[in-house]
Structure 1
Amino acid sequence: MRSFLLPVLSLTLGLAASAIADPTLSPWQLHEQRSHIPAGWTRTRKLDSSVSVPLRFALSQSNMENLEALLYEVSLPASSNYGKHWSPSQIAAKFAPSAESIETVRSWLIGSGVEPHRITLSPTKGWLEVASTVEEAENLLLADYHVYDHETGTRHIACDSYHLPEHVIPHVDFVTPTIHFDAKIPRKRENQYTRVPIGQPGQGSTPKTSGQIGTIFDQLEDCDKQITPICLRALYGLWYQPVAGKQNSYGIVEYTPQSYLQSDLDLFAKNFSTGLEGVSPTLVSIDGGVIESSSPSFDYNGESDLDLEYAMTLVTKGQDITLYQVGDSVEGASFNTFLDALDGTYCKYDGGDDATQDPAYPDTASGGYTGNEECGTVKPANVISTSYGYNEADLSPAYAIRQCNEYAKLGLMGVTFLFSSGDTGVAGNGDYCLNPDGSQSPDGKIFNPGFPASCPYVTAVGATQVSPGQSVWEPENACEQVIYSGGGFSNYFSMPLYQKAAVEGYLAAEPISYPKDIYNSTGSRAYPDLAANGANYVIAVDGSFSLVYGTSAASPVVGSILTMVNDARISQGKPPLGFINPSIYSADFVGGFKDVTNGTNPGCGTLGFNTTKGWDPVSGLGTPYFPSLLSKWLSL
């Protein structure tokens, strides 16, 4: 297996100390390359040399080598600066690209024949853009551009690899358009106007269903058949009424066209949620995000209904839920679209936006959002849960790393980010696994980790279940009913310090017998971090009740628990939790989780990994127990 393992904090693929040199004396070096054409795409023709191409150079940010240490200062329980989170202006000042990086890249471009008036620096100083032609871009990057067609009809411009002068490499994270293939794939709906794929980002990461149910069992003795709010309260000890709801915040992220139906929330509330009938989440529309009700179906309403019904019920009517509805009905959205709205230093193509991959607004298409792109206009909630994800291999390492580091910056600002770990065990979305050349296919044999779950600066949530014949008072097992808990080892990110002891303990107790070429055995970020129930959830969707399964159910449940911990802390004048991983892996939090020691997470023709005492790459540290976690976090 080819390993793409990169340092956690690396923002450049060729990071090295280098003085500015004469471009004519600086040899070109390979900066990024792609080993295969992604599934569904076909190279059709060479791109005409006269076609205009807006080249964008993502400049290396300053002080990234200190990011992990700075995050630990406010996140480690033993730190004297625990909870002393940063302001957005402090973040912007600390990590802006240096004047040296800007001048190095600019001078090279001018020395290569690019007129100064064709070079534009983004407002946040994160990108240099060049109004170029294909011929000039190929000469600058030693690349060959081709047109690629997708089976859906989408077209894309890309190259197999590109190069940069040796002295420029330390100052550039990546260049677009180049090797990246995380393109938005449109689809047609009944009214025949263009729509993004259901579940974007991360097609295939939305909940699974075993169909409608006629009878609801809302008793503790039936939790092995149907999970309802009372089951979750019993499992995780979440018997708590918020007292600081006006000062606290909990955010759920949905990507258009996925949206909830108010009638479904009301139907669920009538059965399970006293006082929530007629109550809606607080909508924050980002780049034209809308709540659609024109085409009700499980595919469009299942995820959002699930997330909101359980989150709203578990935090009760005393705590408002913020719904971040992201993207219009034409272009949809990417994770970067959401991050742009939260952090003004990340928008305007700074921090990871790829003009050929991420939606750009205003959207001039019929029915598109015609306003300006949201840029640092949205206040992030204290806890944010997202039930979507990509396969790591869908993205280039540079793209994933830059986005991952943005989660670290938001952690510095006191935001807790939760992501579901995936529903296909050690395989990727769609049960795709990796081939030796890095491509993905249903018959691949190499484990295919997920992203952002593999990012070391988010908390990844796996799935457990109350197995048939067992009760809520017995230990849960790894979810092996309809879905399998996503987990494993990253191919992009090295192991963060906070989980080193836990992962090494697992490897010593459960030596992995698989050949080292089917998973990354080189010491990489391991996930998930913790887990919660992900099987047999009763949800109201499209006017009736269904059973659903997925880590997409587990993530908002954990988010609800952490939101109530924040409520207690805020009521005592303490700051919100922020990035929780250094805490939960520390010795201070032993006993804060219920261990999961039975089950595996199959995929790629294997049984996947084993659960065991302590951390494992199926259930993480285990499932949260609210009374213990509350006591531990209140003591900090």
Structure 2
Amino acid sequence: MSTDSVTTSMSVPELTPSIFCADASQFFAEKKYILNILGGHLIQFFWLVVKWCIENGSLLSRPLEYAQQKNYSKDRACAAILAVTMARAQPLLLLLLALIATALAGRRVTLENVHHVPEGWSATQKRDGGDAPLTLTIALKQRNMEKLDLILTQVSDPTSPQYGRYLTREQVIDLVAPTSDSILQVTQWLRSQGASPTDIHLHESKDFIDVTLSHSAAERMLETTFVSYIHTTGRRAVKAANSYSVPHEISSLIDFVSGFRLPNMKWRKSFEKMGMTHASPLLHPRARESLPNDNSPAVIYVNALDGIASATILPRCKDGQVTTNAQQLCGEDDNDADVTISGFHVTAVELRGEKKIEYDIPVTKAKCSPCENNSTACTQSNSRNNLPSGTVYCSVYLPGLTNYLPTYLLVTSQFSDDSQSVVGNASALSFSTSTFVTPKNLFELYNVPANLRVTNPASTQSVAEFLGQYYDPADLKKFFRLMGLPDTSDLVTVIGPNNVTNPGGEATLDIEYIMGLAVGSPTTFWSLPGLYQGQEPFLQWITDVLNSANPPLVHSISYGDDENTLSVEYVLRVNAEFKKAGVRGITLLFSSGDNGVFGGNLFTECTSFTPSFPASSPYVTAVGATLFSTETLPVCAENFAGFEFPCNDVGETTSSTSSGSRISSGGGYSIIFPRPSYQRAAVNNYNQYITDIPTSFYNTTGRVYPDISAIGHNFVVILDEEISPIDGTSASAPVIAGLITLLNDARLNAGKGPLGFLNPWLYGLSSDHFNDIVTGDNSCSELPWVCCDYGFPAKPGYDAVTGLGSPNFAALLKSALSHN
């Protein structure tokens, strides 16, 4: 039979490279006969082999005759041709394989893109430290991650027979650690790059390797360049100037290389010493607008406390100019050379009932000083209005205000010639003072027995502190004394550095309130310096926790970064570490952020929302913030017979700069993680309330956070032995952490295990286990105050700004004790 007759009867078209490759590729892909290494390139080579065989002999007739006899389809015929060709061309194929091996040996794979530079960092002219050692961390790929997911679901779901049956550290290592061959191959690669055996350290978990190399050796190994950066705080770190890569044969064994990211230095809090010299309060819109063409004073910010407020004013001379002399306001270089400012007249107007409080404040009672970059608000004002850095601002105190009532200010300057300035109208800004928060009123608010104490030494907890945040034990002792609590400061274990002479607001808040809520719990202050010539403190912290044989059961962390600034590889691996914490019965609580829907960005306009990680992780519990208010129902914003509806009961509303808080509770929809099953029903219910938000602003199918909330405004903290009011979701997180420690204590005393990963339990509870927050939204940022047209509103049930609500401890305790 001729080739022509076969071709006609089988309708096989003329054999060309494109047709042959398409048919053969499809067949071999379906039958899994072709390795996926080179894809179409390998098929193209086989076509060249076929062509060579055709030119050097009558190869086609026999395979096609055989294919016709067997009634093969066209695809099977192509496969038969290819099989015969491969047999005839075996020497050529061996040569090909050798060439492939040589090519792959020199091929490199880019692992991550790490171009993002967080706010406040700038590159230096040269690399600090020359060719000094640099420590990198290699994240090795783990095994059995699907099985880890299954175990986490079983041990965290109260309806599962495996609930609470956690794994030990050794069991987790045996489950997910890489093979010995993988570890050996990576270690040999590091040795080939100049690392000695003493420079290489395998973590106890066997899934991370630390290696110390010179900068130049590390650059050669990763084919990148390291650049030194300095932060406005003076801290230094190194960062890869571009993407990095590893050999092809190593890329399948590791997730990423760590040690050259710049940490986000933006903390989740707003705190203020009573002296108000470094304020971070509510910024008036005037700080972002040009000054009017008159001599009216401008209210730059208002710090609302408990029945008292501090307003910072930009005074202007009679001719409308500012002054840089804090000893004599005006009267020197202005056109009215003999006229000075003698004082200020402030009118506080309470919107409900139109009550007015008048204040006449002589300049000698105002605290006036040059800005000199010591306040975000005055710095912003100077920048916006092109004012010198030494421009003088004055702080005035306004006592006797009624808590929870929206209030605005009218301010005039009094001149020495008995004239007055134009009225500075601050009606665009309303604020409300609020009760100071202490452990005592948190216990009352959340239905916790007043004298409840931790009695089981196994009920442990921890706060994580990064980037030079420390606490002073003397502050903690004074806090216990002023709050009427027993002094348990001796129960603190410090891991890492702690400079007691330089306490920070974040660390002090965390340690005082987690211990103020869970009195008697052994507490770890887990401190990591991070930064220069080392790995990121966050990754180091979670690996240190998991390497510990007996880590604390509850962790409060007030640290985060924008999802869109992190590589997916990094985020997914950190997420895997969270899963490992969950299967060991460890509870991770993260603050949801203080910048509303803005994340860590300072937008002047809003076209999309920015979710924050790790709060967005499906394997942690994210904590949002509320504040005390009388406007706890939507009806409170309505008019009744020409008057505002009377609302006098004090409850909780969303923490927002638009309602008097110093921060706005973070919350939103992840752009990386899909929605976990445990929250689908709750989010589906919430989605009916947000149909007006353009879907281009957020990922409609993503994981939604926060999960729960607590008060986050006006916390009384003892810092440098002074009272300092502090705001933030980083105040809310240690509150929830302390309450979870109390629940763990009850379970341990009942012979049960700790609660571990909370979310499957929390989302399965009925609404009476929470205080539902139904007013407010997170459309506004913290400083500088900018508001989006859209934000996630608080609504009945779950919402993306306060989660399930704030805790009803008594109901949660009953539920926690009902499960094994």
TM-score (norm 2): 0.58
Gaps of 5+ in 1: 1-15, 183-200, 345-375, 434-441
Aligned to 1:595: 772
CA distance, structure 2, for counterparts of residue 593 and residue 224 of structure 1? 22
Q: 1:510 to 1:469 in 2, by over 3 A?
A: closer
How big is the shift at 1:559?
1.4
* Gap change, CA 1:287 and 1:109, over 3 Å in 2: closer
Give the match for residue 205 of structure 1: 268
Q: Which residue of 1 aligns with 2:112?
A: 32
Of the three residues 513, 517, 525, the one matched with 1:314 is: 517
Return closer, same or farther for 1:23/1:453 CA change in 2, 3 Å cut-off.
farther
* Among candidates 238, 250, 254, match of residue 448 of structure 2: 238
The aligned counterpart of 1:283 is 492
- 1:397 corresponds in structure 2 to 568
Deviation at 1:412, TM superposition (A): 1.2
- Give the aligned partner of residue 162 of structure 1: 244
Q: How far did 1:158 drift? A: 1.0
- Does the 8 A contact of 1:207 with 1:553 survive in 2? no
Q: Give the structure 2 partner of residue 509 of structure 1.
A: 689
- Report the residue type matching 2:618 in the other structure: P
1:111-190 correspondence to structure 2 within 5 Å:
122=202, 124=204, 125-127=206-208, 143-150=223-230, 154=236, 156-164=238-246, 168-176=250-258, 180-182=261-263
Change (3 A) 1:77 1:262: same
2:805 maps to 1:622: yes
| Inter-CA distance 169–614: structure 2 relative to 1 (3 Å threshold) | farther
- Residue type of the alignment partner of 1:150: I
Q: Distance in 2 between matches of 1:256 and 1:535?
A: 24
Q: Deviations over 1:353-382 (max 9, x none)?
A: xxxxxxxxxxxxxxxxxxxxxxx37x3222
Q: Deviations over 1:191-246 (max 9, x none)?
A: xxxxxxxxxx74332333384679899xxx99943223332222211116246333
Structure 2: runs of 5+ lacking an equivalent: 1-34, 39-96, 276-304, 309-398, 405-432, 633-646
SS in 1 for 2:688: helix
Q: Supply the AA of the counterpart residue of 1:307.
A: D
Instruction: Indicate the residue corresponding to 1:253 in structure 2.
Output: 464
What pairs with 1:328-347 in structure 2 (closer than 5 Å)?
A: 334-344=537-547
- The answer on whether the counterparts of 2:559 and 2:591 sit within 8 Å (CA) in structure 1 is yes
Q: CA deviation at 1:66?
A: 2.9
Contact kept in structure 2, 1:426 and 1:608, CA below 8 Å: yes
Deviates more, 1:164-173 or 1:615-624: 164-173
Verify: 1:432 aligned to 2:606, yes or no: no
1:114–1:571 CA distance, 2 compared to 1 (3 A): closer
Distance 1:328 1:507, change over 3 A: closer
Deviates more, 1:448-457 or 1:74-83: 448-457
Partner SS, residue 597 of structure 2: coil
- Residue aligning to 2:738: 560
Deviation at 1:574, TM superposition (A): 0.8
Q: Report if aligned partners of 1:75, 1:82 keep a CA contact under 8 Å in 2.
A: yes
Match of 2:701 in 1: 523
Q: Which residue of 1 aligns with 2:638?
A: none
TM-aligned CA distance change 1:508 to 1:444, over 3 Å: closer
Q: Does 1:385 align with 2:556?
A: yes
1:552-602 deviation per Cα after TM superposition (whole angstroms, max 9, x unaligned): 11111111221221122112111111111111112x444311211111112
Show CA shifts across 1:441-496 (max 9, x none).
x7675433222212222111000111157799655211121111111122333322
Matching residue's letter, 1:496: P
Q: CA deviation at 1:72?
A: 1.0
* 1:545 maps to 2:727: no
Match of 2:179 in 1: 98
Shifted more, 574-583 versus 234-243: the winner is 234-243
Residues 52 and 234 of structure 1: is their aligned pair in 2 closer, same or farther, counting only changes over 3 Å? closer
Looking at structure 2, the residues matched to 566 and 536 of structure 1 have their Cα atoms a distance apart, in angstroms, of: 28
The answer (yes or no) to whether the contact 1:530–1:619 under 8 Å persists in 2 is yes
Distance in 1, matches of 2:210 and 2:479, equals: 50
Whose radius of gyration is greater, 1 or 2?
Answer: 2
Letter in 1 for 2:152: L
Match of 1:251, SS state, is strand
Q: Distance in 2 between matches of 1:307 and 1:59?
A: 33
Are the counterparts in 1 of residues 690 and 792 from structure 2 also a CA contact under 8 Å? no
CA pair 149-244 structure 1, distance change in 2 beyond 3 A: closer
Residue in 2 aligned with 1:304?
507
In 1: Cα distance, 2:127 partner to 2:472 partner: 46
Q: Do the aligned residues in 2 keep the contact of 1:281 with 1:322 (CA within 8 Å)?
A: no
Q: CA deviation at 1:406?
A: 1.7
For residue 65 of structure 1, what is the aligned residue in structure 2?
Answer: 146
Secondary structure, counterpart of 1:506 in structure 2: helix
3-state SS, counterpart of residue 466 of structure 1: strand
In structure 1, the residue matched to 2:383 is: none
Contact 1:244/1:570, CA 8 A, preserved across alignment: no
Asked whether the equivalents of residues 30 and 162 of structure 1 are also in contact (C-alpha less than 8 Å), the reply is: yes
Q: Post-superposition shift, 1:136? A: 7.7
Of 667, 678, 684, 1:487 maps to 667
The AA in structure 1 aligned to 2:734 is P
The reply to whether residue 454 of structure 1 matches residue 616 of structure 2 is yes
How far apart, in 2, do the equivalents of 1:570 and 1:327 lie? 30
| Structure with higher RCO (Cα < 8 A, 6+ apart) | 1
- Aligned-residue offset at 1:524: 2.2
- Partner SS state of residue 628, structure 1: helix
Instruction: Tell me the amino acid that sits aligned with residue 228 of structure 1.
Output: T
Displacement, 1:504?
A: 2.7
Distance 1:208 1:83, change over 3 A: same
Instruction: Kindly provide the amino acid, as one letter, of the partner of residue 498 in structure 2.
Output: G
What secondary structure is seen at the aligned counterpart in 2 of 1:426?
A: helix
- Structure 1 counterpart of 2:710, which letter? A
Query: 1:87 pairs with 165, 168, 172, which one?
Result: 168
Name the counterpart of 1:3: none
**Alignment: residue pair count:** 542
Structure 2: how far apart are the matches of 1:151 and 1:335?
18
**1:579 matched to 2:769:** no
**Cα distance in 2, alignment partners of residues 443 and 150 from structure 1:** 28
**What's the counterpart of residue 326 of structure 1?**
527
Provide the rounded CA distance (Å) in 2 between the counterparts of 1:605 and 1:469: 20
Give the structure with the higher percent helix.
Answer: 2
Q: Would you say 1:535 and 2:713 are equivalent positions?
A: yes
Partner of 1:610: 793
Q: Is the CA contact 1:386–1:418 (under 8 Å) kept in the aligned structure 2?
A: yes
- When residues 99 and 626 of structure 1 are mapped into structure 2, their CA distance, relative to the original with a 3 A threshold, is same
Would you say the 8 A contact 2:269–2:726 is kept in 1? no
Counterparts in 2 of 1:128 and 1:244: CA distance versus 1, 3 Å: closer
Residues 17/232 of structure 1: CA separation in 2 closer, same or farther (3 Å cut): farther
- Whether the 8 Å CA contact 1:615–1:622 is kept in 2: the answer is yes
**Sequence identity (%):** 32
Q: 1:214, 1:545 within 8 Å by CA — same for their partners in 2?
A: no
Distance 2:108 2:700 in 1: 29
Q: Aligned letter for 2:496? A: D
Contact kept? 1:289, 1:328, Cα under 8 Å:
no
CA contact (8 A) 1:466 1:472 kept: no
Residue 160 of structure 1 deviates from its aligned partner by 2.0
Which residue is equivalent to 1:193?
Answer: none
CA contact (8 A) 1:144 1:159 kept: yes
Return the letter of the residue paired with 2:170.
S
8 Å CA contact retained: 1:261, 1:305: yes
RMSD: 4.0
Deviation sequence 1:229-278 (CA, Å, 0-9, x none): 3322222111162463334223233347433344433443344324x2x4
